[in-house]
Amino acid sequence: MNKSIIENKSFDFAVRIINLCKYLNTEKKEFVLSKQLLRSGTSIGANVAEAEKAQTKPDFNTKMNIALKEANETHYWLRLLNRTDYLTDSEFLSIEKDTKEIIAILVSICKKTNKVQL
């Protein structure tokens, strides 16, 4: 069965986040911020996966809104890691592009589903 675009992108993003956190732990010896990043960055895909199997439209909407909140939180941690020199500008910009793309997709989904429920 085919997965949705957001399900594929959020899963691939979670893999990237896991690999980034491994790098931060082993190369930069950074454990606190990377743990927060790991939680929020992998939570996006988990909530999208739950939404894809939602039993009701409100349940779908709730899960997608949580995924959006997690994506915004992930963007925050990435910005903080960049500003504190744990991520170079090029490392940050590479993953920020994916983060913003996921946020844009989730915003679009949430806007559409909110209109359906009103």
How many Cβ atoms sit within 10 Å of the Cβ of residue 96? Answer: 16
Instruction: Judge whether residue 115 has pLDDT over 90.
Output: no
Number of domains in the chain: 1
Residues 6 or more apart whose Cβ sits within 8 Å of residue 11 = 3, 45, 49
Host domain of residue 87:
5-117
What CATH number is associated with residue 18?
1.20.1440.60
Q: Token digits for 22?
A: 């491994």
Instruction: Judge whether residue 12 has pLDDT over 80.
Output: yes
Q: Token digits for 75?
A: 């963007």
pLDDT reported for residue 118: 34
Residues 6 or more apart whose Cβ sits within 8 Å of residue 69 = none
pLDDT reported for residue 117: 44
Cα–Cα dist 118/115, whole Å: 5
pLDDT reported for residue 114: 83
